[in-house]
Amino acid sequence: MSDVLEELQWRGLIAQHTDIDALRKALDEGPVTFYCGFDPTAASLHHGHLVAVKLMRHLQLAGHHPLALVGGATGLVGDPRAKGERVLNSPEVVAGWVDSLRRQLEHLLDFSGSNPARIVNNLDWTSQLSAIDLLRDLGKYFRMGTMLNKDIVARRINSEEGLSYTEFSYQILQANDYLELYRKYGCTLEVGGNDQWGNMVGGADLISKVEPGATVHVLTNPLITKADGTKFGKSEGGAIWLDPTMLSPYGFYQFWLQVEDVDVVRFLKVFTFLSRERIEELERETQENPRARAAQKALAHEVTTWVHGEQETARVEAATAALWSGDADSLRNIDAFTLAGATADLPSAQLEVGKSTIIDLLVATGLEKGRGAARKTVAQGGAYLNMRKVSDEDAVITEDDLLAGGVVLVRKGRRKLAVARAN
């Protein structure tokens, strides 16, 4: 079972660890129970969480027992962050987000077989703590100097805004999570993002103080950045959410499809389960024929399938092909939801059925600056409606022209695409 550490290392999924040799020995001696925490700070997980979940899945595939902790309690408090105090959400909102994250995690991990994943909620035990319990049974094991020296805490305390006791106490609650899971499930390994290293080590230290003889471990994954060191994770529409109502599967797929050549092999290792042999093959293809974007297509396919399923991936791949291959007939097979996602970031305009012409739409969508230029484009054969060339500048848009959801696609030349929606 220890081979999993070599696999994680090769994939770039290991950042820090308490004692890698001791962890290797523990993994080799038999299945261990491990956990990773996810705080409900929004209604959905995002692409950054996939790194930790991927690490969890690799450990699960190696025979170890995963606990996915959803922070119903810690989500009410909030982890200190660099940009200032969090706005506290209501218990009702946090509870709803807990349910959303639970449903997503149930899809990303395996909850069947001999080592099924289990979801736990730290509200179950944290809500039972009184103030006296917190201070006497937990607080006495934490030293102020250690807590104050944590990087994010020190920066916030020295900032103009400062740091509230609420956020300062978060680290005690997270440490207690590890202790509770150790006692209830025999959990001896915590995994998570490298930005949580201080909190995670705090949990291991707490266990060592209150459970003499216990041996526990901490393993973090790196926070993924692009080759230039900048943050990896924003689309034109915002965060890369896993919830299809917050980011369409088409938009999700396109995000991965647009990864730069310099990053794509590394992201294949991190975000997919493709074998070394297949990834090395895709690396050679990228070097020999980068325009084919074979690696990006594989990355987008694998991650979208993991998150949204095979059927949804097939739909967005069909939509991608139809939008950019010029296949007019295929457009008619795209459902309204997928088409809405595929056109969400395109230049858009309203159209009046029975009145608007291709000239109107070229100008309204911004593909042309004026009607004279639009007429010239039509005359030169560069205007398309639903991927079919338009030669009659006076022909009006009819009901028969509308695709699913009451839209038409307007194209200028080979690559300039826009959408018009019926009133």
What would the pLDDT profile of 301-325 be if each residue is shown by its tens digit? 999 999 999 999 998 998 888 877 6
Closest listed residue to residue 188, CA positions, set 65, 53, 37, 52: 65
Q: What's the CATH number where 287 sits?
A: 1.10.240.10
**Which stretches of the chain drop beneath a pLDDT of 70?**
1-2, 234-238, 325-327
Do 285 and 356 sit in the same domain of this protein? Answer: no
Q: Which pLDDT belongs to residue 423?
A: 81
Whether residue 261 contacts residue 254, with contact meaning beta carbons closer than 8 Å, is answered with: no
Q: What does the pLDDT read at residue 101?
A: 97
Domain-embedded: residue 242: yes
Residues 303 and 387 in one domain: no
Whether 358 is in a domain gets the answer: yes
DSSP 396: B
- Residue 1 confidence (pLDDT): 43
Structural domain includes residue 226:
no
Token pair for 168:
């300062």
Give dist(CA 410, CA 315) in Å, integer.
21
Per-residue pLDDT tens over the stretch 44-81: 999 999 999 999 999 999 999 999 999 999 999 988 88
- Which of 288, 307, 334 is a domain's end point? 334
In a domain, 341, yes or no: no
In this structure, the answer to whether residues 211 and 354 fall within a common structural domain is: no
DSSP assignment of 191-243 equals: EEEGGGHHHHHHHHHHHHHHSTT---EEEEEPPPB-TTS-B--EETTEE-BSS
Q: Is 408 helix (H, G, I), strand (E, B) or coil?
A: strand
pTM value?
0.86
> Is 97 part of any domain?
yes
The answer to whether residue 175 sits within a structural domain is: yes
Rg of the chain's alpha carbons, rounded to an integer? 26
Q: Could you tell me if 306 and 362 lie in one domain?
A: no
Going by the DSSP 8-state scheme, the letter that residue 335 receives in this structure is -
The structural domain count of the chain equals 3
Say whether both 52 and 129 belong to one domain.
yes
Contacts of 267 (CB under 8 A, 6+ apart): 224, 256, 259, 299
Residues 96 and 243 in one domain: no
* Tokens 């901490």, located at residue: 218
Residue 173 shares a structural domain with residue 26 = yes
pLDDT at position 44, please? Answer: 96
Query: Same domain for 279 and 186?
Result: no
**Domain of 68?**
3-221
CATH number, position 414? 3.10.290.10
pLDDT at 86: 83
Q: What is the pLDDT of residue 238?
A: 64
CATH number of the domain within which 44 lies: 3.40.50.620
Residue 343 lies in a domain: no
Within this chain, do residues 277 and 302 fall inside the same structural domain, yes or no?
yes
